[in-house]
């Protein structure tokens, strides 16, 4: 998969120490976080705030609810992808603090 | 580009909508700060340390182009011309993107240049380089200003903020994440923007389709309104303003599909820079090819909403029937959003539109600061300074470009048509560029003098043809005139380049390694690891799949 660092030839220092995953610095986590947040907000809106005005605009479909579910599913797929194929960074190259990365994961 | 500025566009955004928009901006700034911790030298800042995976740069490649002009302009074309607008994507983008990945990228990436103008300098010397670098830098600042102006206009129309406040806020956001994180921040944000734009436009398209009774309902409504032409993409006479169907098809295929689109996609550093940020030759070649897959489906969520607006939104219906409802086609997608999206999705849509307008501007600025620092400042003003010096120049150039863009936007606010003209003119720089590049890459005899002479004469030819059609000497208008002007630029550039090469001295062959096909050893333009890659990472196989798909789309929606 293109997200692994196999064949990494960026010309930096050779990898001396171990390798670890990029954690919250992985752009996929950020994307999943934002779209997932949108999904949750829209689902809540679809449940508590679906009335005649909304139905008139969308043609009797609870658009917020369905779009919200779609976004949440998308976010979960992205999180699963990140788990299955984590980005590996060489030590000292990108992530300073692995626990800091883990704490903010999924935000 | 003219939008109706008054209350008709005002969207009824509530607190939730604002919160969703605010969440987006918070994440954008977060990416800027996160990317900052990685920027350690100028290659990091300008080319992301050549480390990004191909799917990231591929989506950024698309996103950098998915700005205000694209979304507002293409949905407007969809409302006005219908399916003929698909040509801008399937004829006018995908083939050129595949060509860039398969044929040209090995030279850009393999020669280890840091920008497209730098390639120009190494192949043709400083004459062609100066022409290319200066026109590119100038165009980027100007286009950034136009993007910023559209952004402010839309914030003003949608949310009622005063224009100058929206200008400064938008500029400050773009400035902060690029100065902090450089190209990595711009690229990561472009990827995020891509998904937010899809999250905004896909529900809009689906709800819009539902409102008009599905695809069948849309087709029936368009037919009933007497716009049968909107349902076929060929020969696109409305779009080209060329009445003869054969000439119209030739105009689309050669003018748009060959000269204009190849000129734009294969030589525009805004795009090519995204591929240069990858970690291997295969990833660099894959960048535009991976980008071609989303690119061929974007029209379904950009053009189709425009076509829906033309039968669903009262004002656009009236406009299409020849009335004057006080809106323009550029308002189509905004009016559709107003009419069909409930609060909540409305917030996502506003975030998506703002995202797309910032994407365009950020891409212009991040390409500008590279060309300014490496190609103009380092080459012609201060050579041989330490790396940190150029990193600082890059950050200052970003600030300078953003401030200039604010003033350009203010000028644009005063002279709408002037900006349209200038943008068209800058488009003409691209057509001869492609001719010069392709000739220079495959013909080692082409001389440095021919490099700049071809560029200048090609550009002048385009400007001449376009001016003649503007004053009515040539019976062409609109898009048709741009297609013919670009074609003239291409032909004149080739003819002048060949003629000048015959009477001037070529560069010694030893200086052309990596720059010209016949002088580049095979291992320098291929990836040594390529045979180990699975099919979905092989640039040529992916390009083949993309080509088959885009031909199928052309046939299905002809």
What would the CATH number be for the domain defined by B15-34+57-557?
Answer: 1.20.1730.10
**What is the domain partition of chain B in residue ranges?**
15-34+57-557
The number of C-beta contacts closer than 8 angstroms across A and B is: 104
Q: What is the pLDDT of residue A11?
A: 36
Question: B468-497: string of b/e by CB count within 10 Å (b at 16+)?
Answer: ebeeeebebeebbbbbbbbbbbbbbbbebb
Q: Tens of pLDDT along B495-528?
A: 999 999 888 888 888 777 778 877 777 777 676 6
Residue B462 has pLDDT above 70, yes or no: yes
CB-CB contact of B356 with B67 (8 Å): yes
Nearest CB neighbour to A35, from listed B56, B199, B207:
B199
Please, where are the H alpha helices in B471-510? 478-503
Q: What percent of chain A has pLDDT over 70?
A: 57
Contact B342 A63 (CB under 8 A): yes
Mean pLDDT, rounded, of chain A: 68
The alpha carbons of chain B give a radius of gyration, in whole angstroms, of 23
**Average pLDDT, stretch B383-387?**
81
Question: B104-140: string of b/e by CB count within 10 Å (b at 16+)?
Answer: bbbbbbbbebbbbbbbbbbbbbebbbbbbbebbbebb
Q: What is the pLDDT of residue A36?
A: 94
Nearest CB neighbour to A67, from listed B23, B24, B203:
B203
- Residue B271 or B306, more confident: B306
Q: Tens of pLDDT along A49-95?
A: 887 777 888 888 888 899 999 999 999 998 998 888 776 655 444 43
Stated as kind and residue range, the H or E segment containing B64 is none
Alpha-carbon distance A6 to nearest alpha carbon in chain B (angstroms): 10
Backbone torsions φ then ψ of B99, nearest 5 degrees: -60, -40
Most confident of B87-91, B178-182, B417-421: B87-91
The alpha carbons of chain A give a radius of gyration, in whole angstroms, of 19
The interface pTM score, or ipTM, of the predicted complex is 0.82
Alpha-carbon distance A9 to nearest alpha carbon in chain B (angstroms): 7
Q: Is B165 on the interface with A (CB under 8 A)?
A: no
Is-above-0.90 flag for pTM?
Answer: no
Residue B201 has pLDDT above 90, yes or no: yes
Contact B192 A11 (CB under 8 A): no
Q: What is the pLDDT of residue B204?
A: 93
Q: Which of A84-88, A103-107, B15-19, B148-152 has the lowest mean pLDDT?
A: A103-107
With bands split at pLDDT 50, 70 and 90, how would you rate the model's confidence at A6? very low
Backbone torsions φ then ψ of A21, nearest 5 degrees: -80, 160
Alpha-carbon distance B181 to nearest alpha carbon in chain A (angstroms): 13
Residue A98 has pLDDT above 80, yes or no: no
Alpha-carbon distance A58 to nearest alpha carbon in chain B (angstroms): 5
Q: Which residues of B touch A63 (CB under 8 A)?
A: 203, 207, 341-342, 345
Contact B27 A58 (CB under 8 A): no
Contact A35 B195 (CB under 8 A): yes
- Residue A37 or B220, more confident: A37
Place of tokens 């800042």: B45
Backbone torsions φ then ψ of A26, nearest 5 degrees: -70, 125
Q: Which residues of B touch A89 (CB under 8 A)?
A: none
Contact A46 B344 (CB under 8 A): yes
Nearest one of B21, B59, B270, B37 to B170, comparing CA atoms: B21
Q: Which two tokens stand for residue B346?
A: 């409305």
């Amino acid at each position: 998969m293109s997200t692994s660092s196999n064949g990494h030839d960026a010309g930096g220092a050779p990898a001396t120490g171990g390798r670890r995953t990029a954690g919250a610095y992985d752009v996929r986590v950020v994307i999943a976080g934002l779209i997932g947040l949108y999904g949750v907000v829209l689902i809540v809106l679809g449940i508590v705030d679906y009335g005649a005005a909304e139905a008139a605009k969308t043609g009797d479909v609870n658009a917020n609810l369905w779009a919200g579910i779609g976004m949440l599913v998308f976010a979960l797929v992205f999180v699963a992808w990140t788990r299955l194929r984590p980005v590996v960074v060489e030590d000292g190259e990108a992530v300073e603090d692995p626990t800091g990365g883990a704490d903010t994961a999924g935000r | 580009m003219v939008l109706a500025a008054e209350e008709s566009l005002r969207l009824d955004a509530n607190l939730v909508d604002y919160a969703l928009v605010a969440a987006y901006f918070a994440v954008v700034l977060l990416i800027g700060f996160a990317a900052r911790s990685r920027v350690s030298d100028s290659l990091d800042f300008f080319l992301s340390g050549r480390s990004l995976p191909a799917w990231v740069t591929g989506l950024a490649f698309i996103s950098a182009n998915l700005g205000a002009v694209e979304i507002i302009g293409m949905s407007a074309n969809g409302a006005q011309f219908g399916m003929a607008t698909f040509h801008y994507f399937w004829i006018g983008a995908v083939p050129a993107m595949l060509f860039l990945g398969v044929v040209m990228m090995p030279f850009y990436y393999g020669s280890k240049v840091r920008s497209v103008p730098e390639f120009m300098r190494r192949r043709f010397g400083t004459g062609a380089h100066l022409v290319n670098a200066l026109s590119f830098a100038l165009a980027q600042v100007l286009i950034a200003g136009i993007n910023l102006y559209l952004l402010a206009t839309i914030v003003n129309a949608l949310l009622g903020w005063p224009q100058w406040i929206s200008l400064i806020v938008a500029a400050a956001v773009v400035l902060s994440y690029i100065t902090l994180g450089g190209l990595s921040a711009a690229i990561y944000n472009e990827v995020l923007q891509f998904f937010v734009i899809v999250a905004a436009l896909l529900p809009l398209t689906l709800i819009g389709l539902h409102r008009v009774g599905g695809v069948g309902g849309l087709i029936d409504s368009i037919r009933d309104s007497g716009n049968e032409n909107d349902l076929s993409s060929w020969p696109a006479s409305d779009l080209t303003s060329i009445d003869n169907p054969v000439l119209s098809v030739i105009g689309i295929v050669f003018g748009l599909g060959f000269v204009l689109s190849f000129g734009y996609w294969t030589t525009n550093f805004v795009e090519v820079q995204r591929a240069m940020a990858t970690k291997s030759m295969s990833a660099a070649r894959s960048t535009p090819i991976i980008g071609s897959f989303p690119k061929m489906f974007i029209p379904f969520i950009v053009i189709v909403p425009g076509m829906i607006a033309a039968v669903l939104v009262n004002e656009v219906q009236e406009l299409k029937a020849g009335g004057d409802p006080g809106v323009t086609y550029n308002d189509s997608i905004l009016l559709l959003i107003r009419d069909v999206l409930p609060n909540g999705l409305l917030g996502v849509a506003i975030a998506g539109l703002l995202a797309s307008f910032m994407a365009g501007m950020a891409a212009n600025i991040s390409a500008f600061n590279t060309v300014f620092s490496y190609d103009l400042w380092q080459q012609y003003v201060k050579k041989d300074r330490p790396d940190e010096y150029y990193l600082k120049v890059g950050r200052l150039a970003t600030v300078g470009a953003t401030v200039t863009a604010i003033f350009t936007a203010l000028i644009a606010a005063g002279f709408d048509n002037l900006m349209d003209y200038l943008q068209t003119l800058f488009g003409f720089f691209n057509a001869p560029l492609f001719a010069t590049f392709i000739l220079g890459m495959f013909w080692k005899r082409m001389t440095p003098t021919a490099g700049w002479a071809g560029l200048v004469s090609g550009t002048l030819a385009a400007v001449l043809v376009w001016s003649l059609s503007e004053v009515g000497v040539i019976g062409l208008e609109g898009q048709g005139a741009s297609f013919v002007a670009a074609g003239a630029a291409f032909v004149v550039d080739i003819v002048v380049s060949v003629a000048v090469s015959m009477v001037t001295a070529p560069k010694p062959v030893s200086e052309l390694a990596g720059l010209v096909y016949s002088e580049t050893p095979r291992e320098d333009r291929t990836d040594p690891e390529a045979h180990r890659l699975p099919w979905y990472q092989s640039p040529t196989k992916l390009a083949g799949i993309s080509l088959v798909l885009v031909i199928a789309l052309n046939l299905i929606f002809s």
